[in-house]
Amino acid sequence: MTFANRTDAGRRLATRLAGLRGAPVVVLALPRGGVPVAAPVAVALEAPLDVIAVRKLGVPWQPELAIGAIAEGGIQVVAEDVMARVGLTDRGLEGLAERERPALARMASFRDGREPVDVDGRTAVVIDDGLATGATARAACLAARERGARRVVLAVPVAPPHWALPMHDVADECIALHVPADFRAVGQAYDDFSPTTDEEVRAALDEVAADRLAASD
């Protein structure tokens, strides 16, 4: 299975999540790439769409290797085994987190002054464009709990084999459309995996908000 682009992946994910339509649901997207995936889901479920600010903490000399992640609400997750393997100290980890906090604030600014969507007592559907190590997804699920989510559903278009087992302590349900045995990277499942821009994120959020406003008239 491959996806034409993130919007195509979102439409297919929306079909898989159709059973949630009519339930008290909030769709929470990881910026940037998770937003164009989440937008069609929010429209299909007639649910509000919001961002959930998360930043990966990469090993300084091997940035693609996640040692953990931080998220809004003061959430931080750490892969202790990776820390031990690469020899990073607690002080070094805090330095990484400190450097990523301005970027975390910039992600929250995608709301453009809107208040965060109320998640308290609702089902939070946490969406990204795919999952590799799971560090950012784990932090996002914990942040959704911190915001008061009663239930957390983690949904992605693509993930590696056996991805869900270690996520069940932070998510009540884990959904992936495509779990290739030869998983190498999220981008391998997309024909077009070009970077999502800030403008595209804001446009998607505005479009969903306008759609909900029109539906309420």
Quickly name the fold that domain 6-52+110-216 has: Rossmann fold (3.40.50)
Residue 217 has pLDDT above 70, yes or no: no
Query: What pTM value is reported for the model?
Result: 0.94
> Counting Cβ atoms within 10 Å, is residue 166 exposed (0-12), middle (13-18) or buried (19+)?
exposed
Cα four-point dihedral sign 171, 173, 178, 181: positive
Return the domain boundaries, the chain.
6-52+110-216
Q: What is the pLDDT of residues 26-83, one digit of tens each?
A: 999 999 999 999 999 999 999 999 999 999 999 888 888 889 999 999 999 998 888 8
Q: What is the pLDDT of residues 170-186, one digit of tens each?
A: 999 999 999 999 999 99
Higher pLDDT, 213 or 91: 91
Cβ neighbors of 48 (< 8 A, separation 6 or more) are 26, 27, 42, 117, 208, 209, 212
Antiparallel, parallel or unpaired: β 54-59 and 62-71: antiparallel
Amino acid 182: pLDDT: 95
Q: Where are the beta strands (DSSP E) in the chain?
A: 25-29, 49-51, 54-59, 62-71, 75-78, 123-127, 151-158, 173-178
Mean pLDDT for 92-113 is 92
Query: What one-character DSSP code corresponds to residue 46?
Result: T
Amino acid 137: pLDDT: 97
Q: Which of 72, 14, 66 is nearest to 38 (CA)?
A: 14
Inter-residue contact 121 to 24 (CB < 8 Å)? yes
Place of tokens 């940035």: 63
